[in-house]
Amino acid sequence: MTTMTDPPNDQGFRLSQLIYDTRYRSATIQVIALIAFMVIAAFLVRNTITNLSALGKDIDFGFLFSRAAYDINQKLIPYSSNDPHWRAALVGLLNTLLVAILGCILATVIGVVAGVLRLSNNWLTARIMTVYVESFRNIPVLLWILAFMAVLSESLPSPRAFRGEEAEASMWLWNTIAVTNRGTYIPAPVWGPGSAIVVVIFLLSLLAIWAFGKWSQRRFEATGHLLPNFWIKLAILVGPTLLVYLLLGRPVAFSLPELAGFNFSGGIHLRNSMLALWLALSFYTGAFIAEIVRSGILAISKGQTEAAYALGLRPSRTMNLVILPQALRVIIPPLISQYLNLTKNSSLALAVGYMDLRSTLGGTTLNTTGRELESMLLMMLIYLVVSLVISSGMNFYNKTVRLKER
């Protein structure tokens, strides 16, 4: 409907209309912008081609399929130095995602706790949290990563210290966890026969918890009685699984870390590079999240709390029923952009030798094959895709929770 136009122009088309006529003007500007853009792009591409050919290079992603020839210490999927470069890159990407996801989880926990404690009416705790937030926010994350790494590798005992009759160091928690300057070793589950049943039961009890939640909500609505949900859920979570586990004669064993040769073996090895990166990113981002949580809660006007109080709701109920549902809408968008930052910051893995995407594809692969252009482009593209996925998740969330207004 919007395309009806002025009366037909008697003089026909004049060149000056390109600039002065609103109908053509925008087209003109766009065409000029497009041309300028193309010219710049062409200029860059042309330079790149000339430069590459001057060096006798070309653009070729074939290197991804040649033998990588280097080892990666932390690998979530099987990988050996005989595998091709793309697989090394994949191992790196998974490591990036691993530290990003773990980081987001821990950062959220830290951030929420710190944010809420900052609002607590305990003067001392609130102050401590302020100190935490202000110190982590205002110091570069890289410094924190290095500092965490330094703590881990300088102040923890080396595996050697665990050796001998009267060893200088000992393991934690009844000899199940070994904290060394090479990393921390924790027990790893060993799946014996019958363990599948335990896992299934565990999954079923998760389902049961969900069903119970629904049921108890309905019961509450019907009768007004509220059950001690938390404890019941906890019982469902732990009870059946534990029972089956014991009945089946403990099918899931744990392999404990043991000192063997130079190092501990057995158990899961959390390398210091990962721990340092993970902790530093989490604490750093946690400080920002604490601020987000705090201001999110504060943004829900005092009036809401007062109205809830005036209706006789207890503070904890007020928090759960009135403040949090509203605060979440305020909190989640900036929270997600913090997740985005954390993911991008995980590329600082470089500083501590964690083999993430940047250290594999953008590091060793790049400089053993000499394909810097291809590797960098590919790497940026992957990061971009990860970011876009996260931020489209945010947009989706935003659309679903927007408050209805007139």
CB nearer to another protein: give 93 or 379: 379
In this structure, which long-range contacts are made by residues 202-209, counting pairs with CB atoms below 8 Å and at least 24 apart in sequence? Answer: 202/241, 204/240, 205/236, 205/237, 205/239, 205/240, 205/241, 206/237, 208/236, 208/240, 209/233, 209/236, 209/237
CB nearer to another protein: give 135 or 175: 135
d(CA 45, CA 51) in angstroms, rounded, equals 10
Q: What's 181's DSSP letter?
A: B
Residue with tokens 């497009």: 34
Residue 350, token pair as written in the block: 């470089």
CB nearer to another protein: give 18 or 199: 18
In the complex, minimum distance from the CB of residue 235 to another protein, in angstroms, rounded to a whole number:
23
232: which residues sit within 8 A by CB, 6+ positions away?
212, 216
d(CA 276, CA 261) in angstroms, rounded, equals 25
In the complex, minimum distance from the CB of residue 272 to another protein, in angstroms, rounded to a whole number:
7
In the complex, minimum distance from the CB of residue 143 to another protein, in angstroms, rounded to a whole number:
6
CB nearer to another protein: give 81 or 170: 81
Sheet holding 183-186, edge to edge: 178-180, 183-186, 268-271
In the complex, minimum distance from the CB of residue 340 to another protein, in angstroms, rounded to a whole number:
8
Smallest Cα–Cα separation from 63: which of 387, 372, 309, 385? 372
302 Rama class: left (phi>0) / alpha (psi -120 to 50) / beta? alpha
CB nearer to another protein: give 176 or 369: 369
d(CA 302, CA 347) in angstroms, rounded, equals 41
In the complex, minimum distance from the CB of residue 243 to another protein, in angstroms, rounded to a whole number:
33
d(CA 183, CA 261) in angstroms, rounded, equals 16
First CA to last CA distance, the chain: 26
Residue 143, token pair as written in the block: 């410094």
CB atoms within 10 A of CB 126: 14
In the complex, minimum distance from the CB of residue 149 to another protein, in angstroms, rounded to a whole number:
9
d(CA 299, CA 316) in angstroms, rounded, equals 18
In the complex, minimum distance from the CB of residue 154 to another protein, in angstroms, rounded to a whole number:
5
Smallest Cα–Cα separation from 57: which of 48, 45, 68? 48
Q: What's 178's DSSP letter?
A: E
CB nearer to another protein: give 144 or 245: 144
CB nearer to another protein: give 78 or 138: 138
CB nearer to another protein: give 111 or 183: 183
CB nearer to another protein: give 7 or 249: 7
Residue 144, token pair as written in the block: 């924190």
In the complex, minimum distance from the CB of residue 359 to another protein, in angstroms, rounded to a whole number:
7
In the complex, minimum distance from the CB of residue 204 to another protein, in angstroms, rounded to a whole number:
30
CB nearer to another protein: give 201 or 349: 349
Residue 33, token pair as written in the block: 């912008």
In the complex, minimum distance from the CB of residue 260 to another protein, in angstroms, rounded to a whole number:
7
